[in-house]
Structure 1
Amino acid sequence: MKTNTGRFFEDYKLGEVIPHAVPRTLSGGERAAYTSLYPTRFALTSSDEFARVSGLPAAPLDELIAFHTVFGKTVPDISLNAVANLGYAEGRWHLPVYPEDTLRSESEVIGLKQNSNGKSGVVWVRTRGLNQRDELVMDYVRWVMVRKGNLDADAPETVIPELAKTVSADDLVVPAGLDFTNYDFTLAGEAHRWGEYEVGEVIDHVDGVTVEEAEHMMATRLWQNTAKVHFDATNRADGKRLIYGGHVISMARALSFNGLANAQMIVALNGGAHANPCFSGDTIRAWTEVLDKAETSAPGVGAIRLRLVATKGQAGDLRGEDGKYLPEVLLDLDYWALMPL
């Protein structure tokens, strides 16, 4: 058999390292396509001149372009037969990505647990994204519910990895040379600096975007994400194509510009959950809670920990009295970003 039907739960082995196919050379085309899909306006990734004043050689590509590219490489081996992508942890961006960089991915299986129904199981992997010089660009852990192909296959020994609840501020990687001492707040679009944000503050990003089927399909193809639930309407009982979770992440991050225009670079992903499915026709809104703040050794640069929530509902609403996510909540993402002091 020459075609690939994808891995099923019983095909994963603890400790296995899976190299993913098809490296991807990025260009300004990805920047243009990303900007056409999402209303992103962050100055550092938009302007070479703004980036140079900030100590970088040029405008890096958006951090989520790197994430989607690295993630997309893993799909044929990790989540082609997934029921759902369940969460993220311990994510760090180690190097900026620039046009002409080539990214590839590899994943290590670090946890396995068969579900009680015997029809699926959860697979934990740690994925590493590397550039053409074999330098680590980013890494993260994610866990995925994957169907079993053979329901009679023996369940593996259950191993659930212990994961940090957050990336320590001391472990954040600030890009070499980054310097916000000459930061131009007028060009950035807002005057709000690191010292003006308070832990516990909730920011309603006001704007909303209605998701279109065509945009979602374009994004999924752009990142070479081959998961069946995003392409094949017959793959789900309801006959709907599931909107790629990364599309929701990028849309919410772009919407967060209104109120967090100076949160210029994502440097860590502490945790995340796709709380409820998103479908074409849903209108995504976003709000953010400030969770923590830390200083860095880079001149003029502070770190801010943010909870970004994508929702079809109201700002500030997250869980019901039962502790479960409200049905209108689509995404709950915890990340660190860099901001001028």
Structure 2
Amino acid sequence: MLQAIRFPPQAELAAKVQVDMQQARHPHYGRYLEEFVPGQVFVHPRGFTFLRAQMESFARTYMQCNPLYLNEEYARASGFAGLVASPQMVFNVVLSLGVQNDSEKAMANLGYYDAQYLRPVHELDTIRSLTKVIDRKERGAGKPGIVTIRTLGINQDDQVVLQYERKIMVAGQGDRPSTTPLPAAAVMPAFPWVDEAEVFLPDFPERLPSGLTGPNSWFEDFSVGDIIVHANGRTITDEHLPLTYAVGNTHPLHFDRVFSSGLSGKMSGDPIVYGGLVFAWLEGLASRDVSENSVWELGFTEGYHTQPSIAGDTVAALSRVLAVEDAPGELGAKFGIVSFQLIGVKNISASAALARHGGDLFIKENDKKAMDKEKIDEKIFEIERRLLIRKRG
């Protein structure tokens, strides 16, 4: 019910209020290294209600082919309550909600670990995000340190839908002013991380829908060692600037050219494409070959952005099969689990990258120095992911 309130008319005041430069404030966000304290819990602002139009737009923008994210009737016939939000969208939103508190001052995202999708997200679900500081490593005066954090995405029913860990490189405060402090609280907010998490999926019907997926992405189509060279690349344009804010990411490196060009080193210049979007495009490029018949993204780990991307770069993807196994229990009759290594390259086709670099593409970039191997400039991303995939028939 609405209430009627009468406010006085608005008067023009600017000329009557003296400008006092001593009263200027410069709020800024994120945290410097010293401001991360193990045990801290950040309750991130805003939250995000998933709207159908946004869900469909995300799936199409990032070239995803799984009909669970595109076809309402298919999703319902598969046992879900309706159209399913792409796991990549859920991940990007949950991460982005936390940037204002935990990584808006980060110099680099160093890796994603132990990401687990525990529940579906549907239209009108509202997700909020929390982060807990796990560890802070200082590397000496004047050097950036490494902060390990865990982040949760929690729905309107207080259920965890996504949890993951990541590491970020953060500079020290030096003589700069402190950032926005945490609200005063006698007790840190609860942080319901699940150590041995169960995944909550629908009761799949006896007969699943058919005829709307490609012929080569069933569980039986994958064998350990297979290398799948995904045919298409995707050129990224300045579209990435608004797309960054569309998922709520507030780091100026990704949309503020004045900020990005004022940096020093190789990050200086045009805004860097937010890595979550690069991940989403690479996964989308792979989707019709590996995940079109998937009913669930179990999660991912050991994920690294090995080179940045900017507008004008063209990204491409390759997948390598690492493991195949039956799903647990009764699910094993209809589904199997396939583990993939997803590799991203830029400004070269996936086929040409494989021909040029061969097996070195699939070696972690950080391991190459010890192996006396050169890092690959065209390689931009590496991660391992697990999918629950339908069996043929």
With normalisation by structure 1, the TM-score equals 0.88
Aligned: 1:252 with 2:277 = no
2:212 to 183, 187, 200: 187
Aligned: 1:196 with 2:230 = no
- Give SS of 2:312's match: coil
- Give SS of 2:231's match: strand
The aligned runs of 1:1-341 (5 Å cut-off) are: 1=25, 3-116=27-140, 118-150=142-174, 173=199, 175-179=201-205, 181-184=207-210, 186-213=211-238, 215-233=239-257, 234-235=259-260, 236-237=263-264, 238-260=268-290, 261-296=292-327, 297=329, 298=331, 300-312=334-346, 313=348, 314-315=353-354, 317-319=361-363, 322-323=372-373, 325-341=375-391
Cα distance, 1:248 vs structure 2: 0.7
- Provide, for residues 40-86 of structure 1, a one-character-per-residue CA deviation record: whole Å limited to 9, x for no partner: 22112211211222122212111111111111110011111111111
2: distance between equivalents of 1:192 and 1:307?
Answer: 16
After the TM superposition, which parts of structure 1 deviate over 6 Å for at least 4 consecutive aligned residues? none
| Partner AA of 1:87 in structure 2 | G
Comparing 39-48 with 60-69, greater Cα deviation is found at 39-48
**How many correspondences in the alignment?**
324
2: distance between equivalents of 1:181 and 1:322?
Answer: 53
Cα distance, 1:301 vs structure 2: 1.7
For the 8 Å contact 1:72–1:225, the answer to whether it is kept is yes
Is there any run of 5+ residues in structure 1 with no aligned partner, and where?
154-167
- Please provide the CA RMSD for this pair: 2.3
Cα distance, 1:293 vs structure 2: 1.9
For the 8 Å contact 1:294–1:304, the answer to whether it is kept is yes
For the 8 Å contact 1:25–1:103, the answer to whether it is kept is yes
1: distance between equivalents of 2:135 and 2:306?
Answer: 21
1: distance between equivalents of 2:313 and 2:325?
Answer: 36
Judging by fraction of residues, say which structure has more strand.
Answer: 1
| Partner AA of 1:242 in structure 2 | I
Q: Give aligned-pair identity as a percent.
A: 27
For the 8 Å contact 1:90–1:268, the answer to whether it is kept is yes
- Provide, for residues 80-116 of structure 1, a one-character-per-residue CA deviation record: whole Å limited to 9, x for no partner: 1111111011110010000100000111101111234
Q: Assess, with a 3 A threshold, how the Cα gap between structure 1 residues 131 and 326 changes in structure 2: closer, same or farther.
A: same
2: distance between equivalents of 1:76 and 1:105?
Answer: 11
Choose 1 or 2 for highest CA Rg: 2
